[in-house]
Chains A and B, each alone.
Chain A
Amino acid sequence: MTSTQAQEARRVPTFCYNCVAGPDLMTVRVENGVATQVEPNFAAKGIHPADGRVCVKAFGLVQKTYSPHRVLTPMKRTNPRKGRDEDPGFVPITWDEALDTICGRLKAIRETGLTDDDGLPRVAATFGHGGTPASYMGTFPGFLAAWGPIDYSFGSGQGVKCVHSEHLYGEFWHRGFTVCADTVHTRFVLSFGTNVEVSGGPCAVARHADARVRGIKRVQVEPHLSITAAASAEWVPIKPKTDAAFMLALVHVLLHEAPRERLDLAFLRDRTASPYLVGPHGYYLRDPDTGKPLVWDTASATATPHDAANLTPALEGRHTVGPAIERGPDDQTWHHDSTTGATAFTVMVEEMRPYSPEWASGICDVPAATMRRLANEYLDHACVGETIEVDGQTLPFRPVAVTLGKTVNNGWGAFPCCWARTMLATLVGALEVPGGTLGTTVRLNRPHENRLASVQPGEDGFMVARLNRTGRKTWEAKPSGRNAHRTLVPLVGGSAWGQALGPTHLAWMFVREAPQDWPRPTFPEVWFTYRTNPAISFWDTTQIAETIARMPFVVSFAYTHDETNHMADILLPDATDLESTQLIRIGGTKYVEQHWNHHGFALRQPAVPPCGEARDLSWIAGELARRTGLLEGYNAAINRGAGGVPLTGDGYDHSLAEDAEHDVEAIWDAICKAASADLTQGRDVKDLAWFKDHGFQVVPFRRLDWYLHPTMVEQGLRYELPYQERLFRVGKELGARMTEAGHTWWTEQVKEYEAIPRWHDFPGFWVRSLRDAGVDPEDYPFWAVSTKSMQYSAGNNAGIQLMHEVAENVRGTGRIVLNAGTARRLGIAAGDRVEVRSPVGTTEGRAEPVEGIRPDTVVIPGQFGHWATPYAKDLDYATLNTVSALSLALTDSTGSGADVALVALRKVGGTR
């Protein structure tokens, strides 16, 4: 290409939001009408935290656009039998036929009722990774809103492939749906399996690279030398699923070995429930008149409500209190004329006493000295007492953080991990302050775009928490969704996000076979799938695929043929990333580590026209609405904000006429104007044409708003730590409800509601599940874990050649990674074909012996095992997902399970 031609080429600004670490800004070079290159958006330098750069995945979008394997016309299934071994017999049809077929079904449902006899929605929808499909589905949410009840119960990997427990506990404790280090200020990070250099996106990668050069110390505790471990100052190989013991040992050192004054006692006293007095039944001692938790005021030597003026609460000790009440489950109340109350802090100290590093060492297979050293280094770096000025306000400066990764952060053991991590921050006052451990965004609370605004005073001096009800009269005994998230998981809340974060595997399990005392849910009559492939991305994908095959009518927005839409009845080709229009929010703070100094909106626009008959999803949504008679509701939903922002606000009204059809451009023009007006308070309103030229519009975002601390201080709130009185009570209630209803299969989960989390033999849960399956655990001596790959994670791009090509440069891609010494012992050489086997299934792949992995662990990166997706099915890549079990026994109380399995390993011959 000559430079003249290059100059004639057009650069189209757009964004990539393939994974939750985005969105990231970029441009697409278009030459003679063909998209040829992805490049950074240099105009975003100094605005986007990664200066307008996108990660490697975005470079796959050109091949994604032009892949010969794309579905480019609507198609219908001609083979009524469904199954992996059945040829769907897809044949092209017109858009009219496709839409009429779907809408015929939908209209029939509307006539019979939107929910079935059990109250379950007859229409279900599943979207892929981390909510990111919402940034590609245009106005489809408007159609879903107009429709009415939709079941989002059928997951595509959430709960096992995400940091699920952190989502729930993080948001509960400090509005941290995801949690990260304040990397730009911190000096010491303990990272338990957080693979931020892989899944953190360009913003996190840039921040951590800067921090390394600045001289941060990051210690990676993880069974294998992941990319993040590699880029850390120190790697501590820990036995899988024992992180909780490690972290409890760190808490023990801080509480039992460090001088008390080295902790941030003021923070603990004023910003946490540490001084709250706990009564003999394990509940807060409360003022009989007001019901407020009591603290021991050292000045007056009396028990006083926590929010009384001029208090000097005691952080520790046992104090005689009376009169007081304790409020237990189901409004049970104990009245005490005089009783002894221990502060929550003291209860914690006592509970943590057994968890010495020496105790943990045997569990984690990590020397006690290492844990003790790290605890002390953490303390040494905490800078308790120091402050920093941010945007003119003085804040505590605590440059230490603890972060948790997938598998640490879901399934059994995740609750103590989340608690211990948050307590490590809390003990030194490093929660939500510069340098410390921060939440990034909220999803279970609103507004999504401003986590600080989601903080409002709630009960007992804490921020409000909207848990699913567990009272006798308020408990949702009859689930409104197939995964029963409101019934089983109080912490997840009742929103659509709550449903998507419920125990989504239960939906898959129960439609096949429900527990005896639980009515087997119906299959939804229509199931929409978009940017998702649960037949690949879940546990026990063989079983998932079989279950999908039983879905009566599946509508898949299809980019290529894949393992899930193999069972579809209708395939709809939607315009892909470089072909479609949508305005989304950017900036502020959001997961995984996006902390901007700006916020605003960015446009995705067609760099090139859609290939073939592919149509913009907003057009499809409008047609579905029109053909099902929901046009007005659809337009109304868009006016309310289904396209990302409400179209009316203070001083502006760009709303759409509700009784008219609007083309895609008109809709997004209105959304652009409304978003811009909202952003600039009407001062600088930009339309779609402007966004097409400029790509994004931003205004400054205060760095102060990265931190929750000022909001907590302003509202006089305390973090609901360390003592989990509310969860303890909720657990008792939930247990009672399940017992009353005769359900015995959630008993272990209910036990997890502990006021102070304790160590249980978490690895033993997996060992027991083997015994329960009737096999000898000795036959499965290896822990198999997964790890993400930046090239593939959340990209739904295993069928893209470029990703395969560049990912092959990264060790372990598609391979089974094992310790070199183990490999020698088993006679396995690099490239040998090996089988990984669990009682659930097997996977085969090429061995990659390395030094950087524990001898008892194997790693299978990514999620593969494709059998239908073109190109991907020929990769011959191993996958953990066919060996990990869909299992109630391996489901924790939040409804999540860990991405881990006990496996056997053997050479099966052949190399390549």
Chain B
Amino acid sequence: MTAPPRLTLGHRPRLQPFWDVRAACNFIGGGTGTGLIMVAAGAALVGGPWWPAALVGFACVAFGLGMVFLEIGRPWRAINVFFHPQTSWMTRESVLAMPLFGLGAAALGAGLVLGADSGVAIAALVLAALIAAGFLYCQANILRAVRGVPAWREPALRPAMLATGLAEGAGLFLVVGALASPTPPAWSLWLALLAVAARGAAWSRYHRTLHRAGAPEASLRVLDRMAPWVLGLGHGLPAVLLAMALALPPTMGSAAPSVMAGVAGLLIAAAGWTAKLLLMTRAAATRGFTVPHTPVRGRGTSRPSPAPPGWGL
């Protein structure tokens, strides 16, 4: 017989045992996908190539939702997810997924049939991008509504989640662009640079705020360890690469800017994925229990409990 299971219950914050890499994939796929859809819509509006990026974007969102399907305990009841739009961000996210994919199918289909510059396709894609923004907003709020995990409950996480979705989209747009063309449009480089700067600022703010507000040590430890890597490899290095790509004189036939942009884009996206994966599966400590007073046993004394056990302030 195998050893009896060792329980992980207790009063200290513990790693949430519920959402694993499958759930993280929803935030990874959803963030990247919606970001990419939005960037693709931008590209469409400025007359750039958008179809492959849009396809990848919708696929990412679909992948994320598919992973959720695998995560939930009763997948064949998944339809019940629509029952509570009044307050549940998860219902809202699911509700938005419907028109998102409807418009996505229309945009991609029209683009395929009528051409990428078809007004119908572009209009559908732009509408889809608006929905995608809503979807991304829902995802950010799904975490924000989780009262049991202080690292997710922190309000500063919401802009960070939005920023990373956009940054991942912008980054992946560069990757898709690099595969399609040797010369990435400058605007996409500038957008990625902007997005990565915004995300860097938003994540740093989130990290700082969480420290200031207090959070389980287990969460802070993971975030602290992650920060230099994510900021360095996912922000600093891609920013340098992007700057170099922008600075390089356009040389006919040179793939250097495209490669640099593609690598930068991949780093940007991968940093977002890593951060979300760690946030979901490693830094997601529960809040533990706070007891403001110890009891007075007989004629003993009570003492206040200055901080929840297992918290870092």
A interface residues (Cβ-Cβ under 8 A, vs B)? 211-212, 214-218, 230-234, 801, 804-805, 808-809, 870-871, 874-876, 912
Contact = CB atoms under 8 A, between A and B. Distances in A.
B300 A808 contact: no
B74 interface: no
A215 B298 CA distance: 4
- Residue among B7, B299, B301 with max Cβ neighbours from chain A (10 Å): B299
B9 A232 contact: no
Contacts of A875: 3-4
Interface string B1-43: 1111011011000000000000000000000000000000000
B4 A231 contact: no
B9 A912 contact: no
27 contacts: A211-B298, A212-B297, A217-B298, A217-B299, A231-B297, A232-B298, A232-B300, A233-B297, A233-B299, A233-B300, A233-B301, A234-B300, A805-B7, A808-B6, A808-B7, A808-B9, A809-B7, A809-B9, A809-B10, A870-B1, A871-B1, A871-B4, A874-B1, A874-B3, A875-B3, A875-B4, A876-B3
B289 to A, nearest CB: 13
Interface in B157-179: none
B4 A801 contact: yes
- Residue among A232, A233, A801 with max Cβ neighbours from chain B (10 Å): A233
B4 A212 contact: no
Contacts of A805: 7
Contacts of B1: 870-871, 874
A212 B3 contact: no
Interface string B289-310: 0000000011111000000000
Contact of B297 (A232, A801, A912): A232
Contacts, number: 44
Nearest to A831: B6
Contacts of A214: 298
Interface of B: 1-4, 6-7, 9-10, 297-301
A212 B299 CA distance: 8
A284 B157 CA distance: 85
B298 A233 contact: yes
Nearest to B2: A874
B297 A804 contact: no
Contact of A912 (B2, B6, B7, B300): B6
Contacts of A217: 298-300
Given A875-B3, A912-B6, 10 more contacts: A211-B298, A217-B300, A218-B298, A232-B297, A808-B6, A808-B9, A809-B10, A870-B1, A871-B1, A871-B4
Given A870-B1, A871-B1, A874-B2, A212 B7 contact: no
Contacts of B6: 808, 912
Contacts of B10: 809
A175 to B, nearest CB: 29
Contacts of A211: 298
A98 B114 CA distance: 91
A230 B9 CA distance: 21
Nearest to B301: A233
Contact of A215 (B4, B9, B299, B301): B299
A850 B294 CA distance: 17
Nearest to B6: A912
A482 B4 CA distance: 40
A808 B297 CA distance: 24
A882 B6 CA distance: 23
A874 B297 contact: no
A215 B4 CA distance: 42
B4 A804 contact: yes
Shortest 6 CB-CB contacts between residues of A and residues of B = A233-B300, A217-B299, A874-B3, A216-B298, A233-B298, A212-B298
A808 to B, nearest CB: 5
- Residue among B6, B7, B298, B300 with max Cβ neighbours from chain A (10 Å): B298
Nearest to B12: A830
A277 B298 CA distance: 43
A598 to B, nearest CB: 28
Nearest to B8: A808
Contacts of B3: 874-876
B299 A216 contact: yes
A215 B299 CA distance: 6
A739 B92 CA distance: 92
A611 B299 CA distance: 51
A809 B297 CA distance: 21
A383 to B, nearest CB: 16
Nearest to A874: B3
Nearest to B7: A808
Contacts of B7: 805, 808-809
A388 B3 CA distance: 57
A870 B3 CA distance: 10
Contacts of A232: 297-298, 300
Contacts of B301: 233
A232 B297 CA distance: 6
Contacts of B297: 212, 218, 230-233
Contacts of A912: 6
Contacts of A216: 298-299
A808 B9 CA distance: 8
Contacts of A874: 1-4
B158 to A, nearest CB: 34
A737 to B, nearest CB: 49
B3 to A, nearest CB: 4
Contacts of B4: 801, 804, 871, 874-875
B5 to A, nearest CB: 9
Contacts of A215: 298-299
- Residue among B1, B3, B10, B297 with max Cβ neighbours from chain A (10 Å): B297
A322 B297 CA distance: 56
Contacts of B9: 808-809
B175 to A, nearest CB: 40
Nearest to A69: B1
A212 B297 CA distance: 6
Contacts of B300: 217, 232-234
A231 B294 CA distance: 11
A676 B21 CA distance: 67
Nearest to A830: B12
Contacts of A233: 297-301
Contacts of A218: 297-298
Contacts of A870: 1
Contacts of A804: 4
B14 to A, nearest CB: 12
Contacts of B298: 211-212, 214-218, 232-233
B107 to A, nearest CB: 53
A871 B301 CA distance: 42
Nearest to A811: B10
A232 B299 CA distance: 9
A232 B9 CA distance: 26
Nearest to B300: A233
A230 B10 CA distance: 18
A579 to B, nearest CB: 24
A230 B294 CA distance: 11
A370 to B, nearest CB: 15
A717 to B, nearest CB: 34
A217 B7 CA distance: 36
Contacts of A231: 297
